[in-house]
């Protein structure tokens, strides 16, 4: 469907349309994987801290701030997504 001032219409099986859709899907998948991977890194840092392999204070101040802020936001948000349900914020193994 034309958007805005666009006058051109293409069929759903047009190669350009299919390429556009594929590229958006790929970008979406990468974004989701990046978000999930960030959570894996956070969980790994938490594990290392809980096992006293590293100290929270060993981390650079900016990293400490980001970790604390993300934890605070997760606690304030009743998150129900692909990582868990019912407020559970653990990655299922």
Residue spans of the domains in the chain: they are 15-76
pLDDT at res. 8: 80
Residue 90 has pLDDT above 80, yes or no: no
pLDDT at res. 86: 46
More confident residue, 82 or 12: 12
CB distance 70 to 42 below 8 Å: yes
pTM value? 0.54
pLDDT at res. 82: 45
Residue 37 has pLDDT above 70, yes or no: yes
Q: Which of 42-51, 63-72, 76-85 has the lowest mean pLDDT?
A: 76-85
Question: What is the rounded distance in angstroms from the CA atom of residue 76 to the CA atom of residue 27?
Answer: 28
7 token code pair: 């006058």
Question: What is the rounded distance in angstroms from the CA atom of residue 17 to the CA atom of residue 14?
Answer: 5
């Amino acid at each position: 469907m034309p958007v805005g001032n666009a006058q051109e219409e293409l069929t759903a099986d047009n190669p350009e349309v299919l390429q556009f859709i594929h590229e958006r899907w790929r970008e979406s998948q990468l974004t989701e994987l990046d978000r999930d991977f960030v959570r894996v890194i956070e969980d790994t840092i938490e594990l290392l801290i809980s096992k006293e392999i590293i100290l929270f204070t060993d981390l650079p101040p900016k990293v400490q701030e980001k970790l604390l802020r993300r934890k605070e936001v997760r606690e304030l948000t009743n998150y129900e997504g692909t990582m868990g349900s019912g407020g559970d914020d653990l990655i299922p193994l």
